[in-house]
Structure 1
């Protein structure tokens, strides 16, 4: 098997953005604010939207299901079956995203009949505008009745004021545990790694979604808010500045992310041998190749576990995203 270049895959979203993705990929069409890279995950409520296709026209999901061991490796298949256990996106926030949170594995299993919740992480690869910021976790403990009132009254100012707010720049990474309230500010362009679901509970729906019913996954807010972490969050352990590190392989997250996904930034000058693993590769800078696949800035590639002697060659910088460490 060989690595395979995959094209843009931009299902419709409710918020503005996409110009940074178009520039990154070198296209003229700002088709939308999210590009689901090598995705085997569909949008919530739409079984077809969000799925990636291979150059031969097959859905990547179907190709993996037909022959999972060469794609994913025997150990991964033993733990997860033909589930990649990973979703990778390019996300360009053309406006501030609403305050929202995602279910944990336990909440998803109990209420959504799904093995995976949606812990996620962000690798900042670009920023624009005077104030590129993100919001993560409450600064102080918040009683449940207060959150319910904010959601009922759609008090956006109170929600944002209650969150930790901090600036970000390229090279920063942010780990976002399930249940943690968060929002991404306008002008922040990221590679997002996450568990392979489209589960979002949107606390701040007015001005973003058509109505309140679109924000709670059909559960009703009374139930959906039970998965929200209302405790004070120290964000320092969740944020890393990695821009200054230029080792051949730079781990982008601490071990706390390993049960959900892994990522490293590869700095290639000459060649780098890749260990066998299913992976999604996103080229940030430079040119080179991976087997028969020519690489340049904006290239996105899916790498099977059984890829024949995967060697990155050239002068380039890339983010390699991989599934969780098997438990």
Structure 2
């Protein structure tokens, strides 16, 4: 079955999580929520939760999993150049993440570690686009402030010394428009009240240093590897202010109808830009995930399709939709896979 030539609006897809949140997602979407543990909305997901067959996958309106639809017609969904570089993988996972409490200190493996230990072609680099905060002192935590001994870290893990773990990290104040690239291996946590659009490599590999009061047991934290092995994937180096600045951008005041949101180091993994048409903006053909943050407008395709848009909408755009035109007083985040090799 060929990929539909039109963008597809998607409902919320919120697999259960171990931490609180979700109110900001519900407010953005104009919905109500009946659970305090719906803090992640997996948008256009072809990725499952670790250890699950289907949890986390996006189901299309016609009843198919998006994963299966893409595999059935990778050229239509992704385009020939993408398929040459990434086969039938979308090479992207997008989430809306609303931290109703501080997340635990954790990290993710890189591609080499994931190949060796999880039989996966890719690990899990990620990036955060801050789209909302609920306090003036909203904070994220990223990278050790100074090079830290593996023995010290192992002791923190054994004793579950959360204050020591957190104080060892850089505390970074954030506001809407700030973006943070999190390379694989970098220890990090998102603070309470921070709402982000999150781009990731399409896996669910999280290695959690601070598991007590969050996860049921340490086996869940190290994904069955044991902490001695898991710590091989951890970046224990120090990130001073200058080095940290290579991960962070402040885009809230940047002018322009198209604003490139992420730090240069994120480009091999994913792309994201903010689109503000005035009155219209042309977009090249590409597989993409769109998140409408503000306003109302229209997404038109070169084949004559017209998709109304409003705040809170999320859409998956197949390559086969061709060139697009975005019009209206809108603010849209466009998330895309990395640029295929030339």
Q: Distance in 1 between matches of 2:213 and 2:97?
A: 20
CA contact (8 A) 1:3 1:293 kept: yes
The residue aligned with 1:320 is 334
Q: Which residue of 1 aligns with 2:303?
A: none
Matched, 1:13 2:27: no
In structure 1, how many angstroms separate the alpha carbons of the residues matched to 2:226 and 2:32?
40
Distance in 2 of aligned mates of 1:129 and 1:265: 23
The match for 1:104 is 110
Contact 1:259 1:326 in 2 (8 A): no
Contact 1:19 1:30 in 2 (8 A): no
Q: What stretches of structure 1 move > 2 A for 4+ residues in a row?
A: none
TM-score (norm 1): 0.98
TM-superposed deviation, 1:254:
2.9
Q: Deviations over 1:203-238 (max 9, x none)?
A: 000000011111011111110011000000131111
Query: Does residue 149 of the first structure (1) align with residue 155 of the second (2)?
Result: yes
> For the residues of structure 2 that align with 1:270 and 1:57, how far apart are their CA atoms?
35
Structure 1 residues 56-75: aligned runs within 5 Å: 56-75=62-81
Out of 267, 279, 297, the residue aligned to residue 288 of structure 1 is: 297
1:244 to 242, 253, 267: 253
Structure 1 residue aligned with 2:238: 232
Q: How many residues align?
A: 327
Contact 1:22 1:30 in 2 (8 A): no
Is residue 25 of structure 2 the alignment partner of residue 25 of structure 1? no
Alignment of 1:206-221 (within 5 A): 206-221=212-227
Residue 258 (structure 1) aligns with: 267
**C-alpha offsets along residues 124-177 of structure 1, whole Å, 9 cap, x if unaligned?**
000003421000000011111001000000000100110000110000000000
Q: How far apart, CA to CA, are the structure 1 residues paired with 2:115 and 2:252?
A: 37
Q: Which stretch has the larger CA shift, 129-138 or 200-209?
A: 129-138
Tell me if the contact between 1:17 and 1:30 (Cα under 8 Å) persists in the aligned partners.
no
Gaps of 5+ in 1: none
Give the Cα–Cα distance (whole angstroms) in 1 for the partners of residues 158 and 95 of structure 2.
31
**Length-normalised TM-score, structure 2:** 0.94
1:83 and 2:92 correspond: no
Structure 2: gaps of 5 or more residues: 301-305
- Residue 195 of structure 1 and its aligned partner are, at CA, apart by 0.2
The 2-side partners of 1:254 and 1:190 are apart by 16
Cα offset for 1:108? 0.3
What RMSD in Å do the two structures reach over aligned CA positions? 1.0
